[in-house]
A and B are shown apart, each in its own frame.
Chain A
C-alpha cells in the first residue's frame, strides 16, 4: 500500500511540476503577481511529495519487500542495514528518484530563501526548475519506474554488486547528485536572466553562492568516488579516466570556470554573458554525464545496468535543454551590456585565462570521452582513448593554470603592472625551485617529478605570501593578527582552496613518482621488504561475514625493527551473487600508504599471489581535495554571500 501511495505521489508531482512550469510563466507574460506567486507553493509541494515517494521506496528496501521488482532485483535480506538504505540509489531507477528528490529540494530552497528576491525573477527560475522536474519525473514514470510490483513476489532478493557495498560509495551518489543538480539552479537563474533580458547585481549575488554550493558538493562527491575506487578496486590507482569518472569531471571543470568568472561578474560587472553561457554549459555537461552513465554507450568499469531506450530519452532531454538554452542565449546575449573595461594584465585578465584553460580542459575531456563513438560512427573502427592520452594533454593544460594561480590573486583589478608583480614573486619562485632541487637531489626523481613538486611548492608559497600581503606586511604581530581576523571568510576560502590544489598536486606527483609495486607469490612465514618496512605473511584464516565468506590473510608490518600493525587483506566470496572480490588492507598515515592485496591460492599449496603497493603521500590527494571543498564552504558562508543579504527592502519594485 505504501508503495502504491509513493507511486501515486510521484504521478502527482508530474502534474504539479507541469503546473509549476506553466502558470508562473503565464503570470510573467500577463504581469499577474497572483499567478507568479503560485510558484512558491508548488515548489514546496513537489518537494514534500517527492520526499514521501522516496521514503516509501526506502521503506520497501528496509523491510526487504521482494514483491517490488526493484528491491527483488537489487537487495538481499542479509545485507547490512546501511547498504539496504544506500541500495535505494544503487541502481538506475532509484538513483533517478534521488536525482528528482534533490532537484525539488533545491527548488524548495530557492523558493524559501528567495522570498525577498524580485518575484518575477524567482517565478521564472522556479518555472524552469518545474520543467526540468517534469521531464525527469516523466522519464522515471514512463521508462524506469521503481515502484513496479512483481506478479509473483520473490522469496529472496538477488543481492547487488558486492563491490558497491562500501561506506564511501554509499554516500558518494547523494553528494555527486547534490553537485550535478545544484548546477540546475544556476542554469535556471541564467535562463530567467536571459528571458528578463538583464543581468544585474542581485542576479550575480545570487548565482555565486549557488555555484559555490554545487561546486563544493561535486568536489566532495568526486573525491568520495575516487577514494572508493582506490580502496576497493584493488590496484592502488585512484583515477582511471573512465567515461563515468569523466562524466562527473566535466561538470566540475565547467563549474570551476563558472566559479571564477562569477567573481569577475560580481566584482567588476563584466563577463556576464560568458558567465551565463558557462552556467548553461555546466548544467548541460551534468545532463550529458547522466546520459553517459545511464545509456551505456561507452565501455566503463562502472558497468551499470543500462538500456539504450532510456539513453535515447535522456539524449532528447539533453538536446532540448542544451539546444533551447543556447538558442535563447544566442538571441539575447547581445542585449546584455558589459560593464567595466580591463587591461589584459589585470586580475580580470588572469581570471579570463583561468576560464580559457578550464573551459578548454572540459572540452578536451569531452572530446576524449566521446571520440571512440565518433570514430565508430564515421568509419566503423574501434579506438580507445585511455589514461595515457588524458595525462598527455591534461598536464600541459593545467601547468599554466597552476603557475598563474600562485600570483594572480596579487594582481590588481582593472590593470596591473607586470613589473611590480615580477618583483614580488621572483623570491617565491627562487625559493620554490631551491626546495624542489634539494628534495630531488636527496631522493632522486624524473623531470616530471621535479615539475610537479615545483608547481606544488610554488603555489603553496605564493598563496601564503599573497595572504600576508593582503593582511599587510610591516605590521606589529598583534596588529597583524587583528587584521587577519578581520579578513572576510571568502578571502580565507580562496587561500585554503588554492592551498588544497597545491597539496593535491604534491600528492599526485609524489605518489606516482615514488610508488613501489611488488607482485610475487608468498608462502607462510615469508616476507617482503619495501624501504624500511618489512611485511611478514602469517597465514590464512577462514572468516564468515553477514553475506559473504572469506579467506583472510594475516600480515605483520615491522617498521624500523618495531611491530607497527597487523594487516588483514581478504578474498571474499558472495554466494548470493557468486562473485569473488578482493578487499585490500591498507596501512595508512600522513606520509605513505602500504596497500596489500591478497590474490589467489596458487597450485593448491601454501603459497598465495600477493600484490603490495607502497604509495608515498597518496593521502595528500584527498586531503587537498577536502581543503578545496572546505575553502568553498568558507566562501559560501561569507557574510556577503548569505542569501538575501543586502537586497533592498522592497525588491519587487525593481523589475516593475
Chain B
C-alpha cells in the first residue's frame, strides 16, 4: 500500500514538474517584465530572465503563480522585497531614500548649464561689445551712406 502511495506521489510530482516547465514559457508580457526587473540572487549579476539557476527557476514559477492568483506587479514586488530585501529589485525604488540616485542625472545636466551660463556671462558677449554701434557712430554711418547714394 505504501509503495502504491509513494508511486502515486512520484507520478503526480513528475507530472506537475512537466506542467510547471510548460508554464515557464515566457508568453506573458507582465511576467517577462517582472523577470527583467528582478535579480537572480544566487547569480553573479543576472536578472531572472537571464538565468538558469534553480533559484531563478523557482522564483519565476512563484512570479507566474502570483500573477495567476491575480496579484499586480507591484504587489508581487512587495511580496518579494519582504522576503529577500531590496537587493532583489534591479530597479531601485523611487523613494526618498534613493532620491539622490533618481534626481542626480538631472542635477548634473542643470549644473552643466549653470556653469555654461557663468562662463558665457563672465566673458563679454560679443554681440554687444563688437557689433553694436554707438549713437554717434550710427549717425556717422548714416551720413556716409547717404553721401554714397547722393554721389
Q: How far is the CB of B123 from chain A (nearest CB, A)?
A: 5
Q: Which of A55-63, A355-363, A645-653 contacts B (4 or more CB under 8 A)?
A: A355-363
8 interchain residue pairs of minimum CB distance: A386-B90, A356-B112, A388-B91, A360-B108, A382-B87, A364-B105, A235-B50, A341-B126
CB-nearest residue of chain A to B114:
A356
Q: How far is the CA of A237 from the CA of B46 in the complex (A)?
A: 11
CB-nearest residue of chain B to A365:
B105
Q: Is B145 located at the chain interface by the 8 A CB criterion?
A: no
Q: Could you give, for residues 380-395 of chain A, a 1 whenever the CB lies within 8 Å of some chain B CB and a 0 otherwise?
A: 0111111111001100
Q: How far is the CB of A633 from chain B (nearest CB, A)?
A: 30
Q: How far is the CA of A285 from the CA of B113 in the complex (A)?
A: 22
Q: Is B26 located at the chain interface by the 8 A CB criterion?
A: yes
Beyond A356-B116, A360-B109, A387-B36, whether A301 also contacts B44 by CB under 8 A is yes
Chain B binding surface, main DSSP class:
helix
A-B contact pairs, 14 of them (CB 8 A): A341-B123, A341-B124, A352-B116, A357-B109, A364-B104, A382-B86, A382-B87, A383-B87, A383-B92, A383-B98, A384-B87, A517-B26, A519-B25, A603-B14
Q: How far is the CB of B137 from chain A (nearest CB, A)?
A: 21
Q: How far is the CA of A359 from the CA of B125 in the complex (A)?
A: 25
Judge whether A397 and B126 touch: CB under 8 Å: no
Q: Is A520 located at the chain interface by the 8 A CB criterion?
A: yes
Q: Is A602 located at the chain interface by the 8 A CB criterion?
A: yes
Judge whether A518 and B25 touch: CB under 8 Å: yes
Residue in A301, A342, A355 whose beta carbon sits within 8 Å of that of B46 in the complex: A301
Residue in B39, B52, B112, B113 whose beta carbon sits within 8 Å of that of A384 in the complex: B39
Question: In the complex, what residues of B have CB within 8 A of residue A303's CB?
Answer: 44
Q: Interface size (A, Cβ < 8 Å)?
A: 52
Q: Which residues A502-543 have CB closer than 8 A to chain B?
A: 517-521
Q: How far is the CB of B13 from chain A (nearest CB, A)?
A: 12
Beyond A237-B50, A343-B126, whether A397 also contacts B105 by CB under 8 A is yes
Instruction: List chain B positions with a Cβ less than 8 A from chain A.
Output: 14, 17-18, 21-22, 24-26, 32, 36-37, 39, 43-47, 49-50, 52, 85-92, 98, 100-102, 104-105, 108-109, 112-113, 116, 120, 123-127
Q: How far is the CB of A285 from chain B (nearest CB, A)?
A: 15
Q: How far is the CB of B55 from chain A (nearest CB, A)?
A: 15
Residue in B49, B101, B125 whose beta carbon sits within 8 Å of that of A368 in the complex: B101
Q: How far is the CA of A342 from the CA of B122 in the complex (A)?
A: 12
Residue in A341, A364, A386, A609 whose beta carbon sits within 8 Å of that of B47 in the complex: A386
Q: How far is the CA of A147 from the CA of B21 in the complex (A)?
A: 50
Q: Is A242 located at the chain interface by the 8 A CB criterion?
A: yes
Question: In the complex, what residues of A have CB within 8 A of residue B52's CB?
Answer: 599
Q: How far is the CA of A414 from the CA of B126 in the complex (A)?
A: 9
Q: How far is the CA of A233 from the CA of B44 in the complex (A)?
A: 13
Question: In the complex, what residues of B have CB within 8 A of residue A363's CB?
Answer: 104-105, 108
Q: Could you give, for residues 323-345 of chain A, a 1 whenever the CB lies within 8 Å of some chain B CB and a 0 otherwise?
A: 00000000000000010011110
Question: In the complex, what residues of B have CB within 8 A of residue A368's CB?
Answer: 101
Judge whether B120 and A364 touch: CB under 8 Å: no
Beyond A356-B116, A520-B25, whether A389 also contacts B50 by CB under 8 A is no
Count of inter-chain pairs, beta carbons less than 8 A: 122
Q: How far is the CA of A385 from the CA of B14 in the complex (A)?
A: 38
Beyond A341-B125, A341-B126, whether A384 also contacts B89 by CB under 8 A is yes
Residue in B39, B100, B126 whose beta carbon sits within 8 Å of that of A342 in the complex: B126
| Additional A-B contact list (6), CB under 8 Å, known A242-B45, A386-B39, A386-B47 | A233-B50, A243-B45, A359-B112, A386-B91, A415-B127, A517-B26
Judge whether B112 and A360 touch: CB under 8 Å: yes
Q: Which residues A362-412 have CB closer than 8 A to chain B?
A: 363-364, 367-368, 371, 381-389, 392-393, 396-397
CB-nearest residue of chain A to B18:
A603
Judge whether B105 and A384 touch: CB under 8 Å: no
Q: How far is the CB of A602 from chain B (nearest CB, A)?
A: 7
Beyond A364-B108, A381-B85, A389-B90, whether A344 also contacts B126 by CB under 8 A is no
Q: How far is the CA of A299 from the CA of B41 in the complex (A)?
A: 11
Q: How far is the CA of A226 from the CA of B93 in the complex (A)?
A: 28
Q: Is A240 located at the chain interface by the 8 A CB criterion?
A: yes
CB-nearest residue of chain B to A302:
B44
Question: In the complex, what residues of A have CB within 8 A of residue B120's CB?
Answer: 342, 344
Q: How far is the CA of A367 from the CA of B104 in the complex (A)?
A: 8
Q: Is A300 located at the chain interface by the 8 A CB criterion?
A: yes
Question: In the complex, what residues of B have CB within 8 A of residue A517's CB?
Answer: 26, 32
Question: In the complex, what residues of B have CB within 8 A of residue A235's CB?
Answer: 49-50
Question: In the complex, what residues of B have CB within 8 A of residue A233's CB?
Answer: 50
Judge whether B109 and A387 touch: CB under 8 Å: no
CB-nearest residue of chain B to A372:
B87
Q: How far is the CA of A227 from the CA of B148 in the complex (A)?
A: 70
Q: How far is the CA of A359 from the CA of B127 in the complex (A)?
A: 29
Q: How far is the CA of A303 from the CA of B120 in the complex (A)?
A: 47
Q: How far is the CA of A300 from the CA of B44 in the complex (A)?
A: 5
Question: In the complex, what residues of B have CB within 8 A of residue A341's CB?
Answer: 123-126
Q: How far is the CA of A242 from the CA of B47 in the complex (A)?
A: 11
Q: How far is the CB of B24 from chain A (nearest CB, A)?
A: 7
Question: In the complex, what residues of A have CB within 8 A of residue B98's CB?
Answer: 383
Q: How far is the CB of B48 from chain A (nearest CB, A)?
A: 11
Q: How far is the CB of A159 from chain B (nearest CB, A)?
A: 20
Beyond A299-B45, A360-B112, A384-B88, whether A393 also contacts B105 by CB under 8 A is yes
Q: How far is the CB of A277 from chain B (nearest CB, A)?
A: 11
Q: How far is the CB of B98 from chain A (nearest CB, A)?
A: 7
Judge whether A609 and B113 touch: CB under 8 Å: no
Beyond A243-B45, A352-B116, A367-B101, whether A384 also contacts B92 by CB under 8 A is yes
CB-nearest residue of chain B to A338:
B123
Question: In the complex, what residues of B have CB within 8 A of residue A343's CB?
Answer: 125-127
Judge whether B90 and A384 touch: CB under 8 Å: yes
CB-nearest residue of chain B to A235:
B50
Q: How far is the CB of B78 from chain A (nearest CB, A)?
A: 16
CB-nearest residue of chain A to B93:
A383
Question: In the complex, what residues of A have CB within 8 A of residue B26's CB?
Answer: 517, 519
Q: How far is the CA of A371 from the CA of B43 in the complex (A)?
A: 19
Q: How far is the CB of B53 from chain A (nearest CB, A)?
A: 12
Question: In the complex, what residues of B have CB within 8 A of residue A382's CB?
Answer: 85-87
Q: How far is the CA of A359 from the CA of B104 in the complex (A)?
A: 13
Q: Which residue, B17, B45, B120, has most C-beta atoms of chain A within 10 A?
A: B45
Q: How far is the CB of A266 from chain B (nearest CB, A)?
A: 18
